[in-house]
Amino acid sequence: MSPDRVAQDAPWLLWLLNAMQSGQEALLQILHSVGLTPDVDGQPAWPWSRRLAGENLLLDVGQARAMAWSLLAVVVIICLLVLAALWWRHSKKRGSLLVTALLIVIATPWPQSQVIWTPASPSSFHHNPLPFSDAAIARGAVHYQRLCMDCHGATGNGQGPIAAQQAVWPPSFTGPLLWRRTDGDLLHTVRQGVFTHSGQQRMPSFASQMTVAQTWELLHFLRAQAAGQLLQLSGNWVMPIALPNMQLHCPGQTWQQVSDLQQQRVRLVGLADVKSVLPDPRMLTVWLPPADQSASFIPAQIDCVVASATEARQALFWLTGTENFTQTQLLADKAGWLRARNDRGADSWSEADLVCRVNEVVQGATQEDSLTRLLRSMDSQPLVYVKGGSVHGLQ
Ligand code: HEC
């Protein structure tokens, strides 16, 4: 089941993934607060070599169902054992409680251990502490070109100039890899390298060539690059991608960056002829002026101008794969996910412009204009973003 279908077809599965994730994170916090596990790369280290594998359950709903029953069974068994301990004097009651617990153990469809456990690293539960911003993406691109491109290729397709000399071919980042790994596991891979079971090095470690913060920037870049490549290859953002944070200048408003525009739809416009953009009260309009044009005159239909224009242009190049942004407009939904792209340099939208969709668009014979239909599709199909087996908010 593709992750974005999960929310519709099996909402309980999202609940299960959340419960598994928060349970493990809570355990980690407790261990860390009593000093049983140290910090690694600035965040508490996961002390075990395995963790629960939410990402596998997404692919196997039968096992996920077994997992949900098992969690319930564990809770009930613990309650029965506690009761049995409290009633240890009443041998009859105690006996029947213990027999019930045993029957539950036998009757529960325990999931297969190779499905629910997956190898973990000390940073498996780390979160990227940096905002997904144009500046982070632009800096990440520099690290990538310096350290990764020779093997992983200029577009991240795994076909760099020295790729063929490696013992195994470097993977492509446009496949499901980045979405199946947790951010923390990716951090670990890049900092520590990749080794075979027998200790042979497959990929070098980069901990001595980048700080932790630079590695997090690099991971933001990888995601932006993969999104842009996917858009070029398939015309779609298969996995949700957020409108990056950018510095803004919004006359008459207190907003200073994209993250201040919460719960509003945002239209990002790169057009040179910004006067052709029709005013629309249903969304905020943010203008990225072309490189050779200054935003000295701001027409009334523009709410904000991008202040970090150089970084924004670079980040958008990676995100969309489009070199020249002067024909492009992007639409972000109220949660901040990029949902639609229009490359025609005009203000006419169609539902085919949706590039991150949950369902196929049903063409209705309504009187509404196409932008209204597009906004309605966006709002009625909120995105759920599952990465590395856990449900993420915007990042
Ligand atoms: C010398 C060549 C080389 C360089 C340089 C290199 N990689 Fe790799 N990388 C590989 C190879 C080969 C693999 C596949 C290893 C395997 O699957 O055993 C790999 C695998 C990966 C993976 C996937 C690991 C997984 O979880 O399966 C990631 C992510 C990755 N590289 C990121 C990077 C980043 C980021 C950089 C730059 C900092 C980088 N690599 C630099 C060769 C390289």
Lookup: tokens for 100 = 């019930």
- Measured CA to CA, the distance from residue 343 to residue 335 in angstroms comes to 23
Confidence of residue 379 (pLDDT cuts 50, 70, 90): confident
pLDDT of residue 52: 93
Question: Between vectors from CA 206 to CA 204 and to CA 209, what angle results, nearest 5°?
Answer: 135
- Atom index in ligand 1 nearest the CA of residue 219 equals 35
Lookup: tokens for 27 = 């355990």
- Atom index in ligand 1 nearest the CA of residue 209 equals 38
pLDDT of residue 8: 62
Q: If you search the block for the tokens 């980048």, which residue do you land on?
A: 210
pLDDT of 395 over the 50 cut? no
**Binding site membership of 115 for ligand 1 (Cβ less than 6 Å):** no
CA of 156 from ligand 1 middle (Å) equals 10
Q: Are 43 and 61 in contact (CB under 8 A)?
A: no
DSSP 288-346: ---TT---SS--TT--EEESSHHHHHHHHHHHH--S-GGG-EEEE-TTSBEEEEE-SSS
| Alpha-carbon distances, residue 107 vs 62, 71, 211 (angstroms) | 16, 13, 51
Q: Are 140 and 133 in contact (CB under 8 A)?
A: no
pLDDT of residue 393: 62
- Measured CA to CA, the distance from residue 325 to residue 346 in angstroms comes to 13
User: What ranges in the chain are assigned the alpha helix state H?
Assistant: 3-9, 11-33, 54-59, 61-86, 91-107, 113-116, 134-147, 149-152, 177-180, 183-192, 212-234, 309-320, 370-380
Chain length of the chain? 395
CA of 5 from ligand 1 middle (Å) equals 30
**Binding site membership of 170 for ligand 1 (Cβ less than 6 Å):** yes
CA of 203 from ligand 1 middle (Å) equals 5
pLDDT tens-digit readout, 380-394: 888 888 887 777 765
The residue nearest atom 6 of ligand 1, judged by CA position, is: 148
The residue nearest atom 18 of ligand 1, judged by CA position, is: 202
Confidence of residue 210 (pLDDT cuts 50, 70, 90): very high
CA of 86 from ligand 1 middle (Å) equals 55
The mean per-residue pLDDT over the stretch 83-112 comes to 92
pLDDT tens-digit readout, 90-103: 888 899 999 999 99
Measured in whole angstroms, how far is the alpha carbon of residue 229 from the centre of its chain?
A: 16
Confidence of residue 189 (pLDDT cuts 50, 70, 90): very high
CA of 330 from ligand 1 middle (Å) equals 32
Q: Ligand 1, residues 121, 152, 178, 196: which to mutate, most atoms within 8 A of Cβ?
A: 152
- Measured CA to CA, the distance from residue 291 to residue 170 in angstroms comes to 36
CA of 356 from ligand 1 middle (Å) equals 28
Closest listed residue to residue 280, CA positions, set 353, 371, 351? 371
CA of 170 from ligand 1 middle (Å) equals 6
DSSP 37-56: S-EETTEEPP-SSEEE-HHH
pLDDT of residue 299: 85
pLDDT of 296 over the 80 cut? no
**Binding site membership of 187 for ligand 1 (Cβ less than 6 Å):** no
| Alpha-carbon distances, residue 266 vs 154, 243, 295, 361 (angstroms) | 30, 9, 19, 21
pLDDT tens-digit readout, 26-46: 999 999 999 999 999 999 999
- Measured CA to CA, the distance from residue 11 to residue 68 in angstroms comes to 12
- Measured CA to CA, the distance from residue 237 to residue 226 in angstroms comes to 9
pLDDT of residue 21: 92
SS3 386: strand
Domains belonging to the chain, first-starting first, are 3-37+50-119 (no CATH), 134-234 (1.10.760.10), 248-392 (3.40.30)
**Binding site membership of 194 for ligand 1 (Cβ less than 6 Å):** yes
Q: Are 341 and 328 in contact (CB under 8 A)?
A: yes
pLDDT of 1 over the 50 cut? no
The mean per-residue pLDDT over the stretch 293-312 comes to 88
The residue nearest atom 37 of ligand 1, judged by CA position, is: 148
pLDDT of residue 194: 96
- Atom index in ligand 1 nearest the CA of residue 144 equals 37
**Binding site membership of 141 for ligand 1 (Cβ less than 6 Å):** no
Residue bearing the bigger pLDDT, 214 or 387: 214
